[in-house]
Amino acid sequence: MVQKAERVTAPQITGRNPAGRQGRPVGNVTRGTTNPNRMRRLDRWLTGPQAWRLRAATDPLVVDLGYGATPATAVELFERLSAVRPDVRVCGIEIEPERVRAALPLERPGLSFHVGGFELPVPGRPVLVRAFNVLRQYEEADVAGIWQLVQGRLAPDGLFIDGTCDEIGRRVAWVALDAGRPLSLSISVRFGSFTMPSDVAERLPKALIHRNVPGERVHTFMQAMDRAWLEAAPLASFGNRQRWQGMCRILRGAGWPVQDGPARWRLGELTVDWEAVAPLE
């Protein structure tokens, strides 16, 4: 059952509420809709540019926070990360006990499921925490507190990913944070699933989706993407993959802090420093 939307109050988020810490999990029951292979674009990023974090971790603990009504994406995450670190431990966390009970038959060495919320009720400090299509269902005013709560649980060099995607994972966007601050915004799209790159704006994470208005940095970036996409139109005869890479080169040449390079761009992926899109105060 989906819980009626409630504000996640600051005392609860910061852990000062004993009930939130010792009693019921911190957070609300969400819709939990999911589909197999929905998170593949993010998982490809975790096993690519971010794989070093898992390889270097003393304790390869990973949390899939709010995996949804079915545990398919948590199982997929475990299988994909196992290729990077065979001894990885993936803990799927859901606030709805029935969802956890339904997932228990899929447990195996390295994969487990637990009832909980943003307090992350697992022993140890995770090197990766994935929360996809979770914060989207909260108030924007709650995001900073939720981020702080999860960041406080990260291992050294740990990463928290707060992201959103469409129902089948063709338009995806996520914010990556370490223990101290947000680091980047990533966008990953399937070629042919959009007319203009800014079509992904409807899938921006909660911290940004309401900031896609004139005067905000993320809106300026979305517009710059569209202009660069149009400027790269002559490359369309070689395919959208070449056109997307051309767009990325144009953005970098214009001074946008675009990360990575053609090996990532060719996947329909683009990552930019957080400072370039962060909400204005």
pLDDT, one tens digit per residue, over 231-265 is 999 999 999 999 999 999 999 999 999 999 999 99
pLDDT tops 80 at residue 39: yes
* Burial zone of 7 (CB within 10 Å; 0-12 exposed, 13-18 middle, 19+ buried): exposed
Band (pLDDT 50/70/90 cuts) for residue 1 is very low
13-38 residue pLDDT tens: 433 333 334 567 898 887 767 778 99
Asked if pLDDT for residue 228 goes beyond 70, the answer is yes
- Distance between CA atoms of 269 and 262, rounded to whole angstroms? 9
Predicted confidence at residue 29, as pLDDT, reads 82
**Sorting pLDDT into bands at 50, 70 and 90, what band is 135?**
very high
For residue 178, pLDDT beyond 50? yes
Percent of the chain predicted with pLDDT > 70: 91
Q: What is the pLDDT of residue 32?
A: 67
Give the mean pLDDT of the chain.
91
Q: What is the pTM of this model?
A: 0.90
Q: What is the mean predicted confidence (pLDDT) over 151-165?
A: 97
Q: Where are the domains of the chain?
A: 10-206+258-274
Confidence category of residue 196, pLDDT binned at 50, 70, 90: very high
Higher-pLDDT residue of 29 and 107 is 107
What number is the average pLDDT over the span 46-69? 96
Identify the CATH homologous superfamily for domain 10-206+258-274: Vaccinia Virus protein VP39 (3.40.50.150)
